[in-house]
Amino acid sequence: MTVTNDTSSSDYIKSLQTVTSGKAGDSSTGASTLGKDSFLQLLVTQMQNQNPLDPQDNSEFVAQLAQFSSLETMQNLSTSVDAIGGMYQSSQALQASSLVGRSVIADTGSTHVDTTKGMTGSVVVPSTSTTTSVNIYDSTGTIVRTIDLGEQKAGKASFTWDGKDEAGQTLAAGNYSFKATGSLDGKNTGLSTYLPATVTSVTMGTAGSAMTLNLADGTNIALSKVQQIGI
């Protein structure tokens, strides 16, 4: 914006200072923000202080109006995005409340097992495995059972544990870890396991991050690792 009248320039500058005062952002950087209301005030102030003998060019005035329209559109878009973010958080909260107490099948290496009932899990086999097995460890890291799944083709191989050790004794209920391995192309390779688990609580995500499910065995996983949600 330019002013050609010398007698009115000082008035315009004073008006400009008045409009922009109190709009400063971070004092350490000297940055300032200019909202649509301030922009409109500046435009009106310029028109009031322009030289009547040499008024502002029409094309320049139209360009400034277009800038004002663009600024208002961007601010409205920002408001809409904030509203969408608020609705997303509300949706997350509703989803979280419905998950507490429910059983899920998730990509995890441990879970809480009621040994009187046993459990069923699955192993992800990326390619044909000539020998496949699942080692089960108790909370002290001791192997209590090895389940031999033999040769498996690419896909998911299910396994069932009855809650007993190698001697056939029923173990105490508690947290157990499961480590599956397979022979892929002659190499012993660790495999992912999908295990049943109960959700005890949910930690809401912040800054756009996903929510975290806190499980009965004390571990937590991202919602994206859940394969199936049960009753």
pLDDT over 60 at 198, yes or no: yes
Average pLDDT over every residue of 183-202: 92
pTM of the model: 0.60
What local confidence, expressed as pLDDT, does residue 145 receive?
A: 97
Instruction: Note the pLDDT of residue 156.
Output: 93
Mean pLDDT of 13-37: 50
Rounded CA separation 183/133 (Å): 9
pLDDT confidence bin for 31, thresholds 50/70/90: very low
Rounded mean pLDDT, 182-200 = 93
Is pLDDT at 164 greater than 50 in this prediction?
A: yes
201 or 23: whose pLDDT is higher? 201
Q: Mean pLDDT over all residues of the chain? A: 79
Spell out where the chain has E strands: 103-107, 110-113, 119-125, 129-137, 143-152, 155-161, 174-184, 187-191, 193-203, 212-215, 220-222, 226-229
Tokens of 156: 């998911």
In this structure, what token pair is assigned to residue 5? 């009248």
pLDDT tens digits, 141-159 = 999 999 999 999 999 999 9
Q: Are 142 and 211 in contact (CB under 8 A)?
A: no
Q: What CA–CA distance (Å, rounded) separates 205 from 216?
A: 20
User: What whole-number percentage of the chain has pLDDT above 70?
Assistant: 69
User: What tokens does 94 get?
Assistant: 């509703």
- Residue 205 or 162, more confident: 162
> So what's the pLDDT on residue 160?
96
pLDDT tens profile 34-93: 556 666 677 677 777 776 766 666 676 667 667 767 767 777 777 777 777 667 666 766
The one-letter code for the residue type at 224 is S
**DSSP letter string, 57-74:** PHHHHHHHHHHHHHHHHH
